[in-house]
Structure formats: C-alpha cells, structure tokens
Amino acid sequence: MKRTIYGIVLTVLIAGSAFGQAIDQKRMDRDLEIAENILQTLSNSEGNRFYSSNNTESSYIPDYGVIFSYPNYSFHVLRTLKESKGEYIIAGQASGNVVIAPPPPDVNTSSYSYSAENDDCDGCKEELKEKLKEKLEKGQQKLEEIFKEQATIFLVDYADLISQLKPSDRIMITSKSKNSPVVWMDDFDKNRQSTGRTAEILKSDLIAYKQGKSSREATIGKIKFASTVKDEKVERDLELFGSIFAKLYDSDMSSTYYSSSHRINYERLDNFGAIYNMRVYSSSQDNGRHTIRTTRESGLTQEERNQKVNAMYPEFERSIKENILDYGRTIKSLKPTEMLMFKIRLTECKGCEMPRSIEVSVKANILSEYGFGKITKDKAMEFITIKKSGN
C-alpha cells in the first residue's frame, strides 16, 4: 500500500504541473537554461572537438515539447571548384592542388594532392576522390557515435529536470553541420548536401524510468535516433524564404533592425516544421559615438542610441509578423499541421525594455489560408505567437 501511495504521489509531483495549470514561463526559462548548460558541459567534456559548442539553444513549444539545437563540426568540409586551368580547390585553399584541410595527422598532405597539369599522375583524381570519401565516411561514423553517446546521457539522466512538460511532450536534440555542403569534384551544382542528426524521447518514458517502472537499458531503447542527409534543392522554397528575409532585413531595406547575413539559416525537423535562426543589429560605434544604420542617424551618445533602438522594437515585431504572412505563403513543403518558427536574437540594448530574444511561430495552415484569402490579415496575425525572453 505504501509503495502504491508513493507511486501516485511521485506521479503527481512529476507531471502535476502539466495538468490543469498554465506553464510558469519564468520557471521554464530557468529549467531550459540549466539544461542548456548541462548539454554544453557534456559536449565540452574530454576535449571533444566534434560537438564542443557554446551555441546551444532551446525552445519550449506548447503541445510539442522542447527542442535543443547546437552545431557540429565535422573534420572535413569539402568544397570543390573547377578553375580555368583545370585545377581543383577543396575547402577554399588558394593553391592549385586539391588538398584536404585540415590534413589528417597520420597522412601526408601531398598524397592527397592532384593537379590537372600533373602529367605523371594519371588517375590521381579518382584515387583522391576515393580516399577523401573513405575518410569522410569514417569521420561521419565517429560523429554519429559521439552524438548518440552525449544525447543518451543527457536525455536519460538530465532531461527530466524540465519539470513542467506533459507526459505526451517530447524532448529533442538536434545537431547539424551548418553551412557545410559536401561536394565531390565536378559536382558543385549537382550535389549540395548537409548532415543533420536528431535524438528524442517522450517525457512519459522518463517518468516511467524515474518511478522504477522501466530499466535504464529499456529507457535508452525508447530514444529515437535519426540521421539525415538533406538535398537542399528538395526544399528550395525554404531556402528561398530564408533569402527573402535576409533581403527584407538588409540595412538598406529595413527601417528598424537589420541582419548582416545574406541568407537566414534554417533547420527542417520532421513532424514539426522549419526553424529559422536570425540575429539582428541596429548600430555601429566609432570613438564612443553611435550610428543607426537603418535610419542613417549618427553622432549619437549611448543613451540616445539606446532610447531610439528601444523605441524601434514594436515596429520590428509588427514587421516580422507581417512579412511572415506576406512571404510565408510561398512555402509549399510544410504540412498544414507543421510550424514555421523564427528564433531571433535582438540587437544589444542594456537597460532597455525590449526583450533580448524572441520566438515567433505560426502553423503552416494559417499561411495557406491567408494566401488563399480565406482569412484576413488581422485574423491571421492573431494566430502568430511571440515568446519574449530577457531584456
């Protein structure tokens, strides 16, 4: 009887806040910051150079769960370019030879070199391609092993610290090689790919483990791992949408904050949608005086600059929502129930009322209904949610 009562009480303590109570956002933010720190500590342990990163980010999405994301760094990024002399370059090296950068410590770089002008090297290009491919495959296998190890420890031992999630919510880790196309010789326009990895578990599986109803081994078996190689041409609409937003928030077009990127990077997650990561700025500084680039105001003190930048925020928020509606309807690859989300880190403004970052999200069906004129802009704007963090 005591064990039964204990089990009931523990269930209520673990999951009680998810039933009948609204999310305490301040507590959720605290839990996520602690979880981010744990994930970063795990990824930085033992001098790991593959997944070591201080760029871990997290998002809580109602009725879905939590997504943690951080970049990974594989040991080669192969970018090939055929020059007029018939020479090839990998990873942007300026020499006339194909090289691997950085070279493996146990391999002489010259053995990986090839020049079209080298008459004594018949077949070297194909041999080089095979060596690079073999090395890359081994590297990707190693990356996958490390990712699974780190994700398993975090999800099984620490993810339950996010206390307000419902049993049906999922906890997901995503890791992706950002801006890292893998391209073989002569295929620059044909084979743009990037590798992404995910690991996820349901909160209900963690509850069962903490209650002693499931073993550690069985809980590990509940983790869903996935590794995907994305052909960027398949989702050209998402790429195009990212480039449109980069242009909209170029310093020459925006009237508020601006982005310094030529494209806004995104992650495509199955059964969720697309998440765009954006960083915006407002001004530059020279000898203690500030220039706001979008308004062309210069010679401002720090106080004057902050006052003007803070006042820009409501207009920036409104423009983000309107631009998502006006241009998001061009996205065709999202399912109606999937989400379009923007995670935006705002320009620095110490002591200002504006948030430090925002998350803007809307379901794809709202974009479609607005595009077909089934709902008005004002009605569609109501379906766009904005979560603000810090200030």
Q: pLDDT, tens digit, for every residue of 83-117?
A: 433 334 444 333 334 443 344 444 343 334 444 44
Check whether residue 377 and residue 238 sit in a common domain. yes
Q: Which domain holds residue 61?
A: 2-66+148-178+196-225
Q: Is residue 274 part of a domain?
A: yes
Check whether residue 155 and residue 260 sit in a common domain. no
Check whether residue 164 and residue 241 sit in a common domain. no
Q: What is the pTM of this model?
A: 0.67
- Provide the pLDDT for residue 186: 43
In order of 74, 132, 136, the CA distances from 102 in angstroms are 11, 12, 12
Q: Is residue 190 part of a domain?
A: no
Check whether residue 156 and residue 264 sit in a common domain. no
For residue 104, count CB atoms less than 10 angstroms from its CB and return exposed for 0-12, middle for 13-18, buried for 19 or more. middle
Task: Report helix angle 364-371 to 302-328, nearest 10.
Answer: 70
Q: CA gyration radius for the chain?
A: 24
Per-residue confidence band for 194, with pLDDT thresholds at 50, 70 and 90: low
Q: Is residue 84 part of a domain?
A: no
- One-letter amino acid for residue 348 of the chain: E
**Per the structure block, which two tokens stand in for 342?**
């923007």
Q: Is residue 110 part of a domain?
A: no
Check whether residue 247 and residue 221 sit in a common domain. no
Q: Is residue 276 part of a domain?
A: yes
Q: Is residue 135 part of a domain?
A: no
Question: Of the spans 83-97, 119-133, 354-368, which averages the highest pLDDT?
Answer: 354-368
- Residues, the chain, total? 391
- Provide the pLDDT for residue 324: 96
- Looking up tokens 């069985």, which residue turns up? 218
Q: Quick one: what percent of the chain has pLDDT higher than 70?
A: 68
Q: Is residue 189 part of a domain?
A: no
Check whether residue 270 and residue 330 sit in a common domain. yes
Check whether residue 334 and residue 252 sit in a common domain. yes
Check whether residue 217 and residue 239 sit in a common domain. no
In order of 172, 209, 298, 310, the CA distances from 348 in angstroms are 29, 42, 17, 10
Number of separate domains in the chain = 2
Check whether residue 207 and residue 253 sit in a common domain. no
Per-residue confidence band for 23, with pLDDT thresholds at 50, 70 and 90: confident
Check whether residue 165 and residue 271 sit in a common domain. no
Check whether residue 169 and residue 248 sit in a common domain. no
Per-residue b or e along 188-218, where b marks 16 or more CB atoms closer than 10 Å to that residue's CB? eeeeeebbbbbbbbbbbbbbbbeeeebeeee
- Provide the pLDDT for residue 236: 84
Q: Is residue 94 part of a domain?
A: no
Per-chain mean pLDDT for the chain: 76
Check whether residue 214 and residue 244 sit in a common domain. no
